[in-house]
Amino acid sequence: MPYNHLEIEPKWQARWDKKQTNEVAETKDQDHLYHLVMFPYPSGQGLHVGHVESYAALDILSRYQRMNGQNVLFPIGYDAFGLPAENYAIKTGTHPAATTKTAIENFRRQMKTIGLSFDWSREISTADPEYYQWTQWLFLKLYENDLAYRAKSPVNWCASCQTVLANEQVVDGQCERCKNEVVQKELEQWFFRITKYADQLLAGLEDLDWPHKIKAMQRHWIGKSEGVEIEFPVIRHEMSRQGNKFNYQEFNIPVFTTRPDTLMGVTYLVLAPEHPLVDELTTPEFFEDVVAYRAAARRKSELERTGLEKDKTGIFIGATAKHPMTGAEVPIWIADYALMNYGTGAVMAVPAHDERDFTFASKYDLPIKQVIASTEQAKRIKGITKAYTEPGFLVNSGEFDGLTTENAKQKIADTLESDEKGRRQTNYRLRDWLVSRQRYWGAPIPIIWCEQCGAQPVPVKDLPVVLPDDVDFKPTGESPLVGSKDFHVVRCPKCKAPARRESDTMDTFVDSSWYYLRYTDPHNHETFADPKKVDYWCPVDLYLGGAEHAVMHLLYARFFAYALKDLGLINFNEPFLKLRNQGLILGPDGDKMSKSKGNVVNPDEIVEQFGADTIRIYEMFMGPLEDAKPWNTEGAVGVRRFLDKIWNAKDKIHGADEAGLKKLLHKTIKKVTADIQDLKFNTAVSALMIMANAMQNAAMVSSGIYEKYLILLAPFAPHLAEELWEQTGHKESIFNQAWPKHDEALAKDDLVQVAVQVNGKVRGTMEISPDLSESDARARAEAVENVAKHLEGKKIVKVIYIPGRMVNLVVK
RNA sequence: GGGCGAGUGGCGGAAUUGGUAUACGCGGAGGACUUAAAAUCCUCUGGAAGAAAUUCUGUGCGGGUUCGAGUCCCGCCUCGCCCACCA
């Protein structure tokens, strides 16, 4: 008989809710753990089966740890600010606060039907003024300490939507909403000085128990490169843009290179089109062409600049620099393969040893000079057909000839430094974090603009700066907050003159950079979280979420922790000691689930049809937590059969102990315990199924064994376990039970089937004690009928015996 | 182009980290129960040969190390994800 999940699951959910079973406090004399799942964006689509996977996994671990006496903080909340709600408002006029509220209620309902043991008293929403008050407060802390600043920068601009876009809203060079091409625009924006921590963020990765892949991505994103900044003097410099005014003032163009060893191979320089020296350097005969080229570069879409077509274009600007060592004339070009926001915005081109320079030089017929050869003796290769970028030995480099690339890097850097023509320099790809958005549905940046005093922080007592309601969501190129009347009735905090509020809001990644801190003390009105509570729980012991946050959220949150530690607000640098990524759950067709493909599985339907315990266990049983796995509803049917077996086995409870079952129980305890700790939930479920099959096949099951089994099952199937626990006569929740310990002697088999091999090929098996001596094992092995056949006329020259596993007889 | 990861039955996957390959589940075949079906239960289920015992073969492909390789080493192929003009 199947059990009725529609009856028992709501029953237990209501009881857990009523008793607030999972609320935790900072108890002394108890070990504690902080388990964190990446909080969801409460979309109108509701909970995804992918959410269920990571929440169920950490729920199982949390329930297990509580049964082991741990005090476990396992909170949930909502990353509630963001674009989809705002876009929906633009389309329908429904206020984002309303859609978000509905979505959160739906998420909460869904998560409760899954039986997740979150501490619901700590639920937070980043869109709640109670929360974003402290986002704003933290912004001001960064601002006070020069970690938040305002500067002009090129940003993504969608002309159709009239707004800047975050990088993540630019998909294949197009605006994700209207599909118009995105262009670069120079705008003044707010930044966080994450680059200050580039080195520390890089070094800190070393000790983290994170997936290698994520660490590699962060290293690459930070992109540390050590090299030399070299000055190239400009020797031909004739007139300014204004026309006839001659100006012979000498100056240098600094370039950054990681390959100073190739310095003697420089045949031209490239400046980024936006480089400020271009105006000064361009000669009159090239002036018009340069203006045209720069305008074209500026108009270039993101797609053209970074797309797969890496066609290199550029133009000579009429000027020439002097090689810092040889004094040779080096023509100066502009080309948009040089990027203004990396290094100095200028490149020394060495076409013989850099692929980009080679492509460019080939196209524009610029000289290619080889200065690195693969061996010391190698002569100059005639007619180079591609750049040689491997290490080697220097040639055509005067006094540096014969040096290895490694030695030459040092030697040439030394020479440049002693001649004051250059200096060693470290550069990073990492840019400061642009945090301002001309958007409505985010935390307002707590700054007041005064004509006299400039940017003034909003006094702490005036926080939160609440989002106004009287706005028009239609994009105009400015934040919708600009249109609010109430919002701007404000005086300068310093001089009290009428002033204007900053109308930009913060990137939602700011909200999520510190939410784990708020969970430790979510209702605090005095500060973002009581330092004692933060100290008790933090850092997070295990963080589970999708790999798509590898370089955005996870890097930002680390930056926040480093910065807050420096400001004395917290006592640790690294927020997440151990990180794991759950794999994607694909549609039944093996493709990524999407509405347009129609392959989305709704957890509500599975819960309705098979029950919460089934969806929890099925998602764990599908495969390894970190792998991508296709959904198959038939598989959920199998899990439900397994649960029904356990339900039906309660009718077999009798006093007598069954020796075989007892042994299996201890094996199961051992296996399930080890697997939960390793997050190998798929094999833990498999072990539970094996035991369930054995109970089904047994004539009777003792209550002792059945009840121990229920305890093992409880983290996976909390509703069914509670129900059966109650039905077997218990008043207290099964979750008050201690996790069982296995008896090593009992978990071990008295007799095991071992393979007998002859020359490595299995020729038979035998049942022996795993403790049998080698000589006895050998004797038994030789006696196995089929083995004896293979030994006939042969001599045993060697015996390999792995107790409990196999015997291998090596014969000649 | 670069980085990371993965290739095991019809399918999802397991394999104590070098020791009986395919656990567990799905699907399939046959049987029991039933007037019948569903549900449930039992048996079988990598391929080839054989009545059977058994033998050969088999973890993407080709080599190697080893008594023994899905696992380690070398060389390929295919797929997936992420990043991508960073000097």
Name the least confident of A92-101, A410-419, A479-488: A479-488
CA of A686 to C1' of B23 (A): 8
**A305 strand B contact, CB < 7 Å:** yes
From residues 722-781 of A, list those within 7 angstroms of strand B by Cβ. 752-755, 757, 759-765
Give the per-residue pLDDT at A439. Answer: 86
Residues A431-446 have pLDDT tens digits of: 899 899 888 999 999 9
Question: Nearest nucleotide by C1' from A225 CA?
Answer: B86
**A345 strand B contact, CB < 7 Å:** yes
- For chain A, helix, strand, coil in percent to 5 are 40, 20, 40
**A361 strand B contact, CB < 7 Å:** no
CB atoms within 10 A of CB A590: 11
CA of A754 to C1' of B72 (A): 24
From residues 609-638 of A, list those within 7 angstroms of strand B by Cβ. 621-624, 627-630, 632, 634-635, 637-638
**Res. A303: pLDDT tops 60:** no
**A389 strand B contact, CB < 7 Å:** no
**Nucleotides of strand B lying closer than 7 angstroms to a protein CB:** 3-5, 11-16, 19-21, 23-27, 39-42, 53-56, 67-69, 80-87
| Backbone dihedral region for residue A759 (phi beyond 0: left; psi -120 to 50: alpha; all else: beta) | left
**A195 strand B contact, CB < 7 Å:** no
CA of A99 to C1' of B45 (A): 53
Tokens of A779: 């004797």
Q: What is the rounded CA–CA span in Å between residue A517 and residue A729?
A: 42
Spatial contact of A204 and A574, defined as CB atoms under 8 Å apart: yes
Q: Nearest residue to nucleotide B84 when comparing alpha carbons to its C1'? A: A306
**A112 strand B contact, CB < 7 Å:** no
Residues A94-145 have pLDDT tens digits of: 999 999 999 999 999 999 999 999 999 999 999 999 999 999 999 999 999 9
Name the least confident of A37-46, A59-68, A241-250, A315-324: A241-250
Give the per-residue pLDDT at A280. Answer: 84
Instruction: Tell the residue number behind the tokens 């370089």, with chain if given.
Output: A551
Average pLDDT over residues A31-57: 95
From residues 272-291 of A, list those within 7 angstroms of strand B by Cβ. 272
**A674 strand B contact, CB < 7 Å:** no
Give the per-residue pLDDT at A377. Answer: 55
Among residues A340, A292, A336, the alpha carbon closest in space to that of A311 is found at A336
Q: How far, CA to CA in Å, does A412 sit from each of A343, A390, A403, A423, A424? A: 19, 18, 10, 10, 11
Name the least confident of A32-36, A399-403, A580-584, A587-591: A587-591
Greater confidence (A303 vs A664) lies with A664
Q: Tell me the DSSP string of A242-274.
A: TSS-B-----EEEEEES-GGGGGG--EEEE-TT
Spatial contact of A674 and A744, defined as CB atoms under 8 Å apart: no
Helix axes A603-610, A633-649, angle to 10 degrees: 30
Residues A322-333 have pLDDT tens digits of: 999 999 999 999
Give the per-residue pLDDT at A438. Answer: 86
Residues linked to residue A155 through DSSP beta bridges, in sequence order = A185
- Tell me the pLDDT band of A317, cut-offs 50, 70 and 90: very high
Identify the H or E element spanning A615: helix A612-621
**Res. A379: pLDDT tops 60:** no
Question: Nearest nucleotide by C1' from A689 CA?
Answer: B24
Mean pLDDT score of chain A, rounded to an integer? 90
Q: Nearest residue to nucleotide B2 when comparing alpha carbons to its C1'? A: A220
* Upstream peptide bond of A464 is cis (omega within 30 degrees of 0): yes
Calculated CA dihedral for residues A107, A108, A112, A117, nearest 10 degrees: 110
Give the per-residue pLDDT at A308. Answer: 46
Give the per-residue pLDDT at A748. Answer: 87
From residues 216-235 of A, list those within 7 angstroms of strand B by Cβ. 216-217, 220, 223, 225, 227
**Res. A177: pLDDT tops 80:** no
Spatial contact of A254 and A346, defined as CB atoms under 8 Å apart: yes
Counts of helices then strands in chain A (DSSP H, E): 26, 35
Residues A746-801 have pLDDT tens digits of: 888 888 889 999 998 899 889 898 888 999 999 999 988 888 888 888 888 899 99
- Tell me the pLDDT band of A240, cut-offs 50, 70 and 90: low
Q: How many residues does chain A have?
A: 812
Tokens of A591: 């493709």
Residues A185-228 have pLDDT tens digits of: 778 889 999 999 999 999 999 999 999 999 999 999 999 999 99
Give the per-residue pLDDT at A607. Answer: 97
**A198 strand B contact, CB < 7 Å:** no
Q: Tell me the DSSP string of A510-570.
A: HHTTSHHHHTTSTT-SSSSS-HHHHHHHPSBSEEEE-GGGTTTHHHHHHHHHHHHHHTTS-
Question: Nearest nucleotide by C1' from A2 CA?
Answer: B39
Among residues A297, A352, A346, A343, the alpha carbon closest in space to that of A319 is found at A346
